[in-house]
Amino acid sequence: MLKAINCEHFSQGEVKFHLGLNIVLGDDDARNSIGKSTVLMVIDFIMGGTTFLKDEAGVIRELGHHHYNFSFEFGGEFFYFSRDTALPEVVHLCDENYKRLGEKPIDEYKIFLEEKYDLEDFETSFRSMVNPYSRIWRKGGLDPNQPFIGAAKEANSAAIARVIDMFGRSSDIATERAVLEAQKDKKTLISKSMGANIIPSINKTKRDENIRLIEENGGKIQQLKDGFGGALNAYESLFDEELKRQQYRKNDLTASRAELQNKIRRLQREMSGITPRLAANIALLSDFFPAINVDRLEQVEMFHQKIGAAVKKELKEELAVAQQEDTALGAEITTIESHIQAKLRSKGMPDDLFKQVFDLKETTDRAAEENRHYDQKVDLEEAIKATNERLDRIYTRIFIDIENSINLKLKAFNAVVYGASRASSELRFKSASAYQFTSPADSGTGASFAGLIGFDLAMLSLTKIPYIIHDSVIYKNIQVTAVKRILRILAATRAKQIFVSFDEGKKYGSEFVQFLQRFTVLKLAHDKLLYKKDWRDRK
């Protein structure tokens, strides 16, 4: 637990803490800017937070960069640290007099806290776990309808996953989640491959067309087999791997040569006239467009002529290379054709029949391959749907258990605060990405904030979160009697730490003021500020 914090700028020296309720008590006039929220922000800072560094209260601006010394006690052993606002990414290791002995990166320091607070077995990090329950003015967590959102823009799904983890139920869904992630990754890979034309992409209509094509081609191939009386039937000859390899190679080379010949024709066109010959048409353009700038057209033509010579040389070189490649491809295609015909003659098979069968089978195989990829995609989508349905069933069981546990605590809390006849706040999970936390029978501000406090107490009791932090603004709209009862409930907590800023004690009665003072670790007032320096009236 946190034992103490001190800073050279504190007006009252070291602040010491204990298990249970720790109150930072303001004055009876509820004065602002005396340091109540800032103390809580400092606590969050020494717990590895960064919101204090935004300096919305102007502490760093007015005092300059400074450091806070602090200590913890875990299992009877004391640990001493220091963290500087100028170098927040490290925490200094200290002796009991806060003499610096070394330093630890902030991430390692947070792991230290995670270990000492016995949070190592959770997927959730230490900061992610405690952040939603550090409800401080200008920091966040003050929306009573969003009790476990860790940041303003955090997705509900992330917050819900954290709650599931905090209740030790992540393992219940881990296997199915891993299956789902693998399925989604495979689906993404398939989609990207289809988008890049690495594998064929078709729809159901095309699949049905392919099925008909496969059936038709099968019939045609059978007819050719039945009508051929040679020593080796045409279809069986397709299983001659060398013959198939040569035919595929010929097809690839023919396609490549067609592309190359298109390139050659383009180069020849460019060489015959690198740029539009505007000069020959200037007179005609002048007739159609009397206002045209003839001088400008002539300048453009002269420029094109100048750059033409340089470009034409490059085009000649590129054309020569392309023509050499075309000649080589033509020779290779001719050679392959000769080999294929010789092979077919040795089998007693006409080459035109082989080509018919080969083309039919190639078309059939392509259609079958397209359907195979389509069926794989459909099967994967069905598998993802089935996995999601299994996950939904698991989530439902988890949500019912968590809801029951929290809502029972809320009901007990509400019975003490408002009486058994008054409905309490309720938590309801709608899905893995949606939830609702409301007071169904009382939507007033006071009941909502009381429900938020009750929720935090339930989480403190039911999970391993080590502490909660509440700023005074949470209690402002709750009726006096209810606040008194809530504070007494907080005071009954002994195993963990609760840090609360509070003021206007006088309006709750002298007896309650005495109660507050028993748990007060720091008393602040208009003339008794947190820091020695006062910048409230500075403009």
Asked if 328 and 263 touch (Cβ cutoff 8 Å), the reply is no
Is residue 34 within 8 Å of residue 524, measured between CB atoms?
A: yes
**Residue-wise pLDDT tens digits, 253-268:** 888 888 888 888 877 7
Q: How confident is the model at residue 393 (pLDDT cuts 50, 70, 90)?
A: very high
Task: Note whether residue 160 is domain-resident.
Answer: no
Q: What pLDDT was estimated at residue 225?
A: 64
Q: Is residue 367 part of a domain?
A: yes
Across 313-321, average pLDDT: 81
Bridge partners, residue 80, by sequence = 71, 94
User: pLDDT tens across 50-83, in order?
Assistant: 999 999 999 999 999 999 999 999 999 999 999 9
Q: Does 503 fall in a domain?
A: yes
- Per-residue pLDDT band for 295 (boundaries 50, 70, 90) equals low
What pLDDT, on a 0 to 100 scale, did the predictor assign at position 127? 96
Residue 81: give its domain's CATH number.
3.40.50
Residue 94 lies in a domain: yes
Examine the domain organization and report whether 209 and 305 are in the same domain. yes
Name the 3-class secondary structure at 489: helix
Is residue 175 one of the residues assigned to a domain? Answer: no
For 145-162, the pLDDT digits (tens) are: 999 998 888 999 999 999
Tell me which of 498 and 257 has the higher pLDDT: 498
- As a whole number, the mean pLDDT across the chain is 86
Q: How many CB atoms lie within 10 A of CB 416?
A: 15
Same-domain status, 121 and 249: no
Kindly give the pairing relationship between strand 87-94 and strand 100-105. Answer: antiparallel
Does residue 203 contact residue 194 with C-beta atoms inside 8 Å?
no
209 shares its domain with 293: yes
Q: Do 213 and 147 share a structural domain?
A: no
What residues make up the domain containing 36? 2-155+433-523
Instruction: Looking at the structure, tell me whether residues 212 and 147 fall in a common domain.
Output: no
Q: Please give the structure tokens belonging to residue 361.
A: 């089978």
| Statement: residue 214 has pLDDT above 70 | yes
Give a yes or no: residue 414 inside a domain.
no
The model carries a pTM of 0.71
Helix (H) or strand (E) holding 109: helix 106-116
Same domain? For 225 and 324 the reply is yes
Quote the pLDDT of residue 289.
Answer: 42
- pLDDT at position 515 is 95
> Is 254 part of a structural domain of the chain?
yes
% of the chain with per-residue pLDDT over 70: 84
Question: At 148, phi and psi to the nearest 5?
Answer: -125, 30
Mean pLDDT throughout 485-514? 94
Q: What pLDDT does 150 receive?
A: 86
DSSP character at residue 32: S
344-382: per-residue pLDDT in tens?
666 555 556 666 777 787 888 889 988 988 998 899 999
Q: Above 90 in pLDDT, residue 422?
A: no
Let me know whether 365 and 438 are in one domain.
no
What angle is formed at CA 522 by the lines to CA 34 and CA 508, rounded to 5 degrees? 80
Q: What does the alpha-carbon distance between residue 16 and residue 23 come to, in Å, rounded to a whole number?
A: 11
Quick one: pLDDT at residue 285? 44
Where does the pLDDT of residue 143 fall: very low under 50, low under 70, confident under 90, or very high at 90 and above?
Answer: very high
Both 362 and 471 in one domain: the answer is: no
Residues 345 and 459 in one domain: no
Q: Give helix then strand counts, H and E, for the chain.
A: 15, 13
Residue 383 lies in a domain: no
Which of 313, 343, 378 corresponds to the end of one domain? 378
Half-sphere exposure of 179 (CA within 13 A, CB side): 14
Q: How far from chain centre, in Å, is Cα 331? A: 56
> Each residue of 80-120: pLDDT tens digit?
999 999 999 999 999 999 999 999 999 999 999 999 999 99
Token pair in block for residue 69: 């010394």
Least confident of 147-151, 220-224, 425-429: 220-224
For the chain, how many structural domains are there in total? 2
Whether 338 and 228 share a structural domain = yes
**Spatial CB neighbours of 414, under 8 Å, sequence gap ≥ 6:** 422, 423, 424, 425, 450, 451, 454
Q: Do residues 82 and 212 share a domain?
A: no
- Claim to verify: residue 33 and residue 148 sit in the same structural domain: yes
pLDDT at 234 over 50: no
Find the helix or strand (DSSP H, E) in which 102 lies: strand 100-105
Residue 331 scores a pLDDT above 70: yes
State both tokens at 144: 């009573």
Q: Per residue in 469-482, pLDDT tens?
A: 999 999 998 999 99
pLDDT at 312 over 50: yes
CA-CA-CA-CA dihedral for 52, 55, 61, 64, to nearest 10: 10
Residue pair 493/523 in contact by the 8 Å Cβ criterion: no
